[in-house]
C-alpha cells in the first residue's frame, strides 16, 4: 500500500485527474475499477472519481507496485543551461519573451530545446521547482506562440495560478497586442478585419473567406498603421478571436502579406534581405481583469512589453 499526501499544487482538482498525472502507467479502466472496489481511497474512506482533493488529504492506493515505478529517465530540462529573456516574474508567474525559431512545447522533431524546458530549468536552478517534490504539477504555459513568431508567453508557477489564468484567457480578460510588418500601404490605416477562416490540417494552413463556409470560424483582428516606410507598413494588431495563423492569413488575403512570410506570401526577396520567417511579434500583454482574480488580483490593470530591440524588424522603420 502507498499513501500520497495531497499538496497545495494538487488541491482543487478531481481525484481521477490527479491520478492520471501521478500514475501515468495506470490504465484508466483499471483506475476507475480500483476506485469502485475501494482499492483507492481518500482519507481512508470510499470515494468517487469526481471527488475534489484538498490540501492535506491522503490518497491510499492498494495497487501493484509496478504503477509506482519511475522510468529512470532524467528530465529533459536538467540537461539545459536555461536561456530565457524574462519580461516579468513574481512568485506566481513568469513572462518570457520567446525568440523566433524556438518551439514552446516538444514535438516530433524537438524534445529538449523548448521554451517550457528552459523555464523549468531556470526555476529548477533557482530551487523554485523540483519534480521530486511534486505529485502532479509542473510549471506550465498558459498561451502559445508559433515557432517563428516571437513575443510574450505566460508561465504559471503553481496550480492555482494556472487555473486562474486559463479562465482569464477563456474569458478574454488578458489582451495581447502584436507588431507586424507587411508589404504595401494598408488602406484604411485603421479598422477591423472580419471574415472566416477554414483550417487545412494536412497542410497546416488556413484559407480566408468573405462568407461563412462549412466548418469555418469567424476571425476578427483590430489593427492600426503606425508607420510607413520603403514599401512596408508597421502595424499594431489585436486579436479579437484566436484562430490559427489569423494575422498572417488575413493580411495576406487583403493583399499585404507579412514581411518574410513564405507560407502566406512570396518571400524570395525577403529571404535575400535576411528575413526567413514572418515579421510578427506579440510585444504587449495586458491583465484587464474584470472578475475575481484571487491570488493574482495584484496584476489587475498591469501591462508588460518586450524590449523594442528584440523586435528585430523594427530596424526597417
pLDDT in tens, 87-138: 999 999 999 999 999 999 887 777 788 999 999 999 999 999 998 888 889 9
**At residue 71, does pLDDT exceed 60?**
no
**At residue 66, does pLDDT exceed 70?**
yes
Indicate whether 226 and 242 sit together in one domain.
yes
pTM: 0.86
Indicate whether 263 and 202 sit together in one domain.
yes
Among 127, 149, 170, the domain-final residue is: 170
**146 counts as catalytic:** yes
Q: Is the residue at 291 inside a domain? A: no
Mean pLDDT across the chain, nearest whole number?
Answer: 92
Indicate whether 223 and 275 sit together in one domain.
yes
pLDDT band at 22 (very low <50, low <70, confident <90, very high): confident
Determine which one of 146, 210, 261, 270 is catalytic. Answer: 146
Residues 6+ apart with CB under 8 A from 106: 76, 112, 114, 117
Domain of residue 15: give its range: 2-68
How far is it, in rounded angstroms, from Cα 59 to Cα 18? 10
Among 17, 48, 68, the domain-final residue is: 68
Amino acid at each position: 500500500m502507498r499513501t500520497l499526501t495531497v499538496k497545495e499544487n494538487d488541491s482543487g482538482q478531481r481525484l481521477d485527474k490527479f491520478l492520471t498525472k501521478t500514475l501515468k502507467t495506470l490504465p484508466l479502466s483499471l483506475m476507475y475499477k480500483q476506485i469502485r472496489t475501494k482499492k483507492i481511497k481518500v482519507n481512508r474512506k470510499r470515494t468517487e472519481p469526481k471527488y475534489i482533493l484538498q490540501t492535506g488529504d491522503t490518497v491510499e492506493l492498494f495497487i501493484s507496485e509496478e504503477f509506482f515505478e519511475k522510468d529512470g529517465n532524467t528530465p529533459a530540462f536538467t540537461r539545459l543551461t536555461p536561456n530565457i529573456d524574462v519580461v516579468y516574474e513574481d512568485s506566481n508567474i513568469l513572462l518570457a519573451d520567446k525568440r523566433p525559431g524556438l518551439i514552446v512545447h516538444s514535438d516530433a522533431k524537438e524534445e529538449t530545446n523548448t521554451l517550457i524546458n528552459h523555464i523549468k530549468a531556470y526555476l529548477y536552478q533557482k530551487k523554485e521547482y523540483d519534480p521530486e517534490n511534486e505529485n502532479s504539477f509542473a510549471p506550465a504555459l498558459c498561451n502559445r506562440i508559433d515557432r517563428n513568431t516571437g513575443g510574450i508567453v505566460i508561465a504559471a508557477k503553481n496550480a492555482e495560478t494556472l487555473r486562474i489564468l486559463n479562465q482569464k484567457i477563456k474569458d478574454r480578460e488578458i489582451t495581447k497586442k502584436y507588431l507586424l510588418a507587411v508589404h504595401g500601404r494598408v488602406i484604411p490605416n485603421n479598422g477591423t478585419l472580419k471574415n472566416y477562416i477554414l483550417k487545412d490540417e494536412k497542410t497546416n494552413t488556413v484559407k480566408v473567406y468573405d462568407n461563412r463556409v462549412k466548418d469555418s470560424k469567424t476571425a476578427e483582428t483590430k489593427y492600426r498603421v503606425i508607420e510607413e516606410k520603403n514599401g512596408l507598413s508597421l502595424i499594431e494588431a489585436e486579436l479579437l478571436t484566436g484562430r490559427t495563423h489569423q494575422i498572417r492569413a488575413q493580411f495576406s488575403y487583403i493583399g499585404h502579406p507579412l514581411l518574410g512570410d513564405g507560407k502566406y506570401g512570396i518571400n524570395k526577396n525577403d529571404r535575400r534581405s535576411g528575413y526567413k520567417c514572418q515579421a510578427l511579434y506579440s510585444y504587449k500583454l495586458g491583465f484587464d481583469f474584470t472578475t475575481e482574480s484571487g491570488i493574482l488580483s495584484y496584476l489587475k490593470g498591469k501591462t508588460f512589453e518586450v524590449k523594442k530591440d528584440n523586435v528585430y524588424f523594427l530596424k526597417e522603420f
